[in-house]
Amino acid sequence: MSQKINGVKGMNDLLPGEIEVWQFVENTARTLFGRFGYGEVRTPMVEDTALFVRSVGEETDIVGKEMYTFEDKGGRSLSLRPEGTAPAARAYIEHSVSNVEPVSRWFYMGPMFRYERMKTGRYRQFSQIGAEAYGAKEPAQDAELMDVVVQFLEALGLTDVTLNINSLGDDNCRPAYHAKLVEYLNAHRDELCADCQQRLERNPLRVLDCKNEKCQAVAGAGPNVLEFLCEPCRTHFTDLQRKLGALGIRYVVNHRLVRGLDYYTRTVFEFIASHPALGTASTVGGGGRYDKMMKGLGGPDVPAVGFAMGLDRLVLLLKEGGKTFTAQPDLFIVAADVDAACQDAALALTSRLRREGFYVEFDTRGGSLKSQMKRADKSGARFSLVLGGDELRTGQAKLKPMAGGDLIPVALGSVAQTLRQAASQPSSPPSLKTRE
């Protein structure tokens, strides 16, 4: 007997019964982002490793510890994408989009890969939905992106999420804060965890993002980056807060928020859920401004801002909400007789109704009338229709409401019309829609 082969640890299968939740989130994103004027882009899952080293940062945990990197047959170092912003930026530069339009708004969705320590809501293959805006340096663009996320979460029915914002300054004012932070953290080195002691040497800002309670206590008492902002950065952050107020978006200013990537300047933000289903992986999305990345990757000096949301975590929250996302069949057709003519007629009627847009179930295995009716009930279909010799001879059948009610006479040539009429009745539950 051959040995069973299992899936790769941390890379999950999505099967019918669960995939419908994912499709609901993806379809909602496409609709909502399109309403804001964001067009979808799709980039390869494999990129030149140098792209992530130069954009994300060589000293980040993502590049230093978590990327799936390999050498291809041509001797090139390639990596599975660990995030979506750098590939989108590479595509923007490579296709000279800045020469075509002054402001570009893109969104993407798809799998990312990081060799992480797994826990609830954190996997080695995970999916993100993100958006990027190129060409606008004004805080109004930052506010618009946050509004996209707020409206997206509302459309999903997720309301218990808090927006945290901060400003990291720019090349003019961040060095002074960086020096003060290093001085402070060195004075408290012995109170930091082993990882943060290493981060202190390589990337001190990452200490502020540590989840260790002792490190959080040290970081909380440290210097406040907002006190070091230069006047342009301070004005940008003040304007952003005013615009969020104008949009009616509630937020919390969190001076310890830094995000985990090196490319951010000025605005950074996170959306944090309080639901216990996520455990410590409570951030469902975040992003910020990266005005220097495009030029650093050999492209034009174009400002940019973006965000990404964890699709896996959004799905977890939606499943906890108790909604049903699987489609409800309109009709289950039962072949009452085992002869070929009845089976063929049932199959043909099923096909015709599907062509007309109905979700119709038909068990190709056949079986007894009793067993097929049990399957019809289990399917959740709104109606069933028994098709046998009498129905074929007379051209008449009856729709049975599976939730109870009187049988509905129907001509076999008018089943579609009768189903549509039944669907328009107030007492009839909606078909093919998310329902409570």
Annotated binding site for L-histidine: 83-85, 114, 128, 132, 259, 263-264
Q: Which residue in 272, 310, 311, 307 sits closest to 289, CA to CA? A: 307
**Position 233: which residue type?**
C
**Cβ(223)–Cβ(160) below 8 Å:** no
C-alpha 353: how far from its chain's center? 34
Binding residue positions: 83-85, 114, 128, 132, 259, 263-264
- Residue 99, classified by CB atoms within 10 Å of its CB into exposed (0-12), middle (13-18) or buried (19+), is exposed
Question: CA dist 430 to 419, 425, 426, Å?
Answer: 12, 10, 9
Tokens coding 36: 């804001």
- The Cα 148–Cα 404 span in angstroms is 43
Strand partners, 334: 386
3-state secondary structure of 381: coil
DSSP-derived secondary structure letter, 360: E
| Under 8 Å between Cβ of 84 and 110 | yes
